[in-house]
Amino acid sequence: MLNIENLHVRVEEKEVLKGLNLHIKAGEIHAIMGPNGSGKSTLSKVIAGHPEYTVTSGSITYDVNFRPKNVLEMQPDERARNGLFLAFQYPVEIPGIPNVEFLRAAFNAVCKHQGVDPMETKAFDAFVREKAKMLEIDSSFLDRELNVDLSGGEKKRNEILQMAVLNPRLALLDETDSGLDVDSLRIVSEGVNKLKTEDNAIVMITHYHRILNYIKPDFVHVLADGRIVRSGDVSLALEIEDRGYDWLLN
Amino acid sequence: MSTAFETAFQDLASEPQWNPAWLRDLRQRSYDRFIETGLPSRRDESWKYTSTRSLGEASFGLSKNASISRIVVERLSVKDAHRLVFINGVYNEEFSILPSDVSVVALSEAMKTERDLILPLLGENEDILAVLNQAFFSSGVMLRVKKNTKVQKPLQFLFLQSQEAAATGAIISPRNIVFVESGAEVHIVESHFGQTQHFTNAVTDVFVKDQAYCQYLLERSIGPETRYVSKHSFHIGRDARVETFNLALGGKLNRSHLEFRLTAPGGSAKLDGLYIARGDNHIDNVTEVLHLAPNTSSTQLYKGVLEDKSRAVFNGKITIVKDAQHVDAQQLNKNLLMSPDAEVDSRPQLAIDANDVKCSHGASIGQIDEQELFYLQSRAISREDAKAMLASAFVGDVVGRISGKHFTKHVQDVLQSFGSART
């Protein structure tokens, strides 16, 4: 579904990713772990199309209608309309835009892309309320301004609500677990598990092993200094929990 | 320059019904003074950032054919409102729908009965464009809301142009005087939706007497070749309240000058505004708040969104005279530049001669936040739609400040139709 080959990425003058390879198929869950500054967030933002990052070489392809397409030639919104989703580590606060209107605009942009009529306001309200319920999000939350004055944990839940509404084929969860208390982590993880099918894939980017107790990855990768230095199954995550990253870096 | 209005002035001289002797004399004196002074230039403080070249280089006619179709009138009318229709600046009784509790008299008639009241108003203008209005003004109205009367439905002043005026580029010079008598209450919306290359030069006085309330929405959603200049003076009495909302959309030259004279204790003015310019639009907002008495207050929030190569000016002056103690005056102007070629000049000014006052002012100019834009785009929303959402979020709070039930929806509709007219 997503293939990354020898990816090199610069931010301003600094090379952050230095020849990264990653292959993701439908139905899989991947976890990408690594120390601070190893390039984890850069990877997720490059896949989503953040303008601050420059790809200097390598490629990212993503299957659209069963054909690999060059992601780097697609605008961020085009990527999203084709089922790529990034749950932000730091969701942006936007005063003046009610959460529910934002969700409707996003949902209807995807509908339009798929050639489906936009959902009526009332029907959408019911639809989004059900998704909110699944994530134990109070419905008053929907009428508030987008991410404004939400706690860190609430913002993360709101990201997963957006994921539930957009139902992406490939979801990148960038440190969705950080800032969540135990209960929120469980609720968010259960939500993600409910959204998981044989046709979609999930990439979790995390510092900690904690979320992997709830969402079981098929593959665990360790990212260090801009490359994937080790891949394995969930036992690799357990080993990191025990021994830290140092033994992988040398 | 003098040739720009010469034809129109000659035409006017041949219109006997608009020219009783006293008026002919007033017009001639005003025209002479205008010719002597000329159009405002950039040396004039309040015109520093706005050129009048598009007026001086034109040649304006005078439209005598005031025919217009009822369909146009109905289409531009505010729903469920009373209305006074003006065609080429001339009050049109046929299309107007008046409430029973206000009196409306054509200015030419009012001059016969209330000459002592009105003539001084017409005579004492400092503003040279108001003087030009005096040379040309056609029959506006004197509207009076009687004492302690609360007019329930809003009242629309709807300004329309005949096709002839539109085609020839006419000068249109409305002149209206509103009295809101003590204890009365009224909601007025003044609408200009012209799309052609005419020039509107309007002057309005609004007297809001003791304990009275006046809500006044001034809206111009005008075309890229349309020129509009106006001066509104609000004379605010004891414990009287005025709330204005100034909506300026589009225009080759779209300038309003709103003056608030707080003449007695307890008077208050809320003056908010929103301007959106695109293409080569030029919008100029002048606000002038004069605290002439103690215990008066004013608050203003003006927001602007500038796209493409458009320009806007905010020129806001607050004056607090000596002895006007315990005044509370606030002013804020915020601008959002949607394009690197757009420009705004913001000049908040304070002149305070009293020592026990509360006063604040500020201005900001910002751009679309790239992080916000990326966030919306990452949720499948196109860059253009995301920009429009952010601009609409930016203006949301000022639109939300419109009091009462009458105008909020109307303003949102006008904004939407201006937005969807983008090419």
Q: CA-to-CA distance for B128 and B47, rounded, in angstroms?
A: 12
Tens of pLDDT, residue by residue over B327-336, are 999 999 999 9
Look at residues B273, B265, B268, B303 and name the one whose alpha carbon lies nearest to residue B289. Answer: B268
User: What residues in B contact A162, CB-CB < 8 Å?
Assistant: 379
| Per-residue confidence band for B152, with pLDDT thresholds at 50, 70 and 90 | very high
Q: Provide the token pair at A79.
A: 């990527």
Mean per-residue pLDDT, A162-181: 94
In this predicted structure, the answer to whether residue A46 has a pLDDT above a threshold of 80 is yes
In this predicted structure, the answer to whether residue B2 has a pLDDT above a threshold of 70 is no
Distances B91 to B86, B141, B142, B267 between C-alpha atoms, Å:
4, 7, 10, 31
The rounded mean pLDDT for chain B is: 92
Alpha helices in B268-403 (DSSP H): 370-377, 383-400
8-state DSSP, A189 = H
Q: Provide the token pair at B332.
A: 């804020």
| Per-residue confidence band for B83, with pLDDT thresholds at 50, 70 and 90 | very high
Alpha helices in A49-151 (DSSP H): 76-81, 99-113, 121-134, 140-143
Tens of pLDDT, residue by residue over B319-328, are 999 999 999 9
Choice among A132-136, B68-72, B164-168, B403-407 with the minimum mean pLDDT: B164-168
Q: CA-to-CA distance for A71 and A60, rounded, in angstroms?
A: 6
The pLDDT score that the predictor gives to residue A90 is: 94
Measured in angstroms, the CA of B398 and the nearest CA of chain A are apart by: 11
Tell me, what amino acid is at B314? Answer: F
| Per-residue confidence band for B362, with pLDDT thresholds at 50, 70 and 90 | very high
Choice among A34-43, A65-74, B56-65, B240-249 with the minimum mean pLDDT: B56-65
Mean per-residue pLDDT, A8-26: 95
Measured in angstroms, the CA of B336 and the nearest CA of chain A are apart by: 14
Measured in angstroms, the CA of A200 and the nearest CA of chain B are apart by: 17
Mean per-residue pLDDT, A219-237: 94
| Per-residue confidence band for B19, with pLDDT thresholds at 50, 70 and 90 | low
In this predicted structure, the answer to whether residue A12 has a pLDDT above a threshold of 60 is yes
Answer for the pair B80, B92: CB distance below 8 angstroms, yes or no: no
Which of A41, A94, A107, A148 should be substituted to probe chain B, the one whose Cβ sees the most B Cβ atoms within 10 Å? A94
Q: CA-to-CA distance for A45 and B378, rounded, in angstroms?
A: 10
User: What residues in A contact B370, CB-CB < 8 Å?
Assistant: 51
Answer for the pair B270, B243: CB distance below 8 angstroms, yes or no: yes
Domain that holds residue A79: 2-249
Compute CA B104 distance to the chain's CA centroid, rounded to the nearest angstrom.
21
Tens of pLDDT, residue by residue over A188-203, are 999 999 999 999 999 9
Answer for the pair B11, B138: CB distance below 8 angstroms, yes or no: no
Q: CA-to-CA distance for A48 and A34, rounded, in angstroms?
A: 20
Tens of pLDDT, residue by residue over B107-131, are 878 888 888 888 887 766 788 999 9
| Per-residue confidence band for B68, with pLDDT thresholds at 50, 70 and 90 | confident
Mean per-residue pLDDT, B325-353: 96
Measured in angstroms, the CA of A49 and the nearest CA of chain B are apart by: 8
User: What residues in B contact A51, CB-CB < 8 Å?
Assistant: 370, 374
Look at residues B177, B174, B145 and name the one whose alpha carbon lies nearest to residue B161. Answer: B174
Contact A105 B385 (CB under 8 A): yes
Contact B380 A96 (CB under 8 A): no
The pLDDT score that the predictor gives to residue A207 is: 83
Distances B117 to A44, B203, B236, B371 between C-alpha atoms, Å:
73, 16, 17, 59
Mean per-residue pLDDT, B80-103: 92
In this predicted structure, the answer to whether residue B139 has a pLDDT above a threshold of 80 is no
Look at residues B234, B230, B210, B231 and name the one whose alpha carbon lies nearest to residue B222. Answer: B230
User: What residues in A contact B376, CB-CB < 8 Å?
Assistant: 94, 102, 105
Of B112 and A235, the structure prediction assigns the larger pLDDT to: A235
Answer for the pair A67, A229: CB distance below 8 angstroms, yes or no: no
Which of A41, A53, A77, A88 should be substituted to probe chain B, the one whose Cβ sees the most B Cβ atoms within 10 Å? A77
Compute CA B249 distance to the chain's CA centroid, rounded to the nearest angstrom.
12
If you count residue pairs, one on A and one on B, with CB atoms under 8 Å apart, how many are there? 71
Q: Provide the token pair at B237.
A: 């009495």
Closest chain A residue to B375, measured at CA: A92
Question: How many domains in chain A?
Answer: 1
Contact A80 B392 (CB under 8 A): no
The pLDDT score that the predictor gives to residue B421 is: 75
Tell me, what amino acid is at A215? Answer: I
A54 φ, ψ (degrees, to nearest 5): -115, 125
The pLDDT score that the predictor gives to residue B18 is: 65
Measured in angstroms, the CA of A220 and the nearest CA of chain B are apart by: 25
In this predicted structure, the answer to whether residue B63 has a pLDDT above a threshold of 80 is no
Look at residues B83, B81, B102 and name the one whose alpha carbon lies nearest to residue B92. Answer: B83
Chain position carrying tokens 């120390």: A35
Q: Would you say how long chain A is, in residues?
A: 250
Spans of all domains in chain B? 2-369
Helix (H/G/I), strand (E/B), else coil: B126: coil
The pLDDT score that the predictor gives to residue A250 is: 67
CA dihedral B127, B132, B135, B140 (to 10 degrees): -80
Measured in angstroms, the CA of B213 and the nearest CA of chain A are apart by: 30
Q: Provide the token pair at B262.
A: 């707080």
In this predicted structure, the answer to whether residue B423 has a pLDDT above a threshold of 70 is no
A→B interface, C-beta within 8 Å: 48-51, 75-77, 79-81, 85-86, 88, 91-92, 94-97, 102, 105-106, 109-110, 113, 162, 166
Q: What is the pTM of this model?
A: 0.88
Q: Enumerate the β-bridge partners of residue B253.
A: B227
Which among B379, B385, B392 has CB closest to A162? B379
CATH of the domain at A13: 3.40.50.300
The pLDDT score that the predictor gives to residue B292 is: 97
Measured in angstroms, the CA of A52 and the nearest CA of chain B are apart by: 10
Mean per-residue pLDDT, A32-47: 93
Question: The complex's ipTM?
Answer: 0.96
Mean per-residue pLDDT, B64-78: 87
Tens of pLDDT, residue by residue over A96-155, are 999 999 999 999 999 999 999 999 999 999 999 999 999 999 888 899 999 999 888 899
Which of B375, B384, B397, B399 should be substituted to probe chain A, the one whose Cβ sees the most A Cβ atoms within 10 Å? B375
**What letters, b where the CB count within 10 A reaches 16 and e where it falls short, cover B65-99?**
ebebeeebbeebbbeebbbbbbbbbbbbeebbeeb
Contact B374 A94 (CB under 8 A): no
Look at residues A160, A159, A175, A249 and name the one whose alpha carbon lies nearest to residue A212. Answer: A175
Q: Provide the token pair at A106.
A: 């996003």
In this predicted structure, the answer to whether residue A78 has a pLDDT above a threshold of 80 is yes
Contact B383 A97 (CB under 8 A): no
Contact B375 A97 (CB under 8 A): no
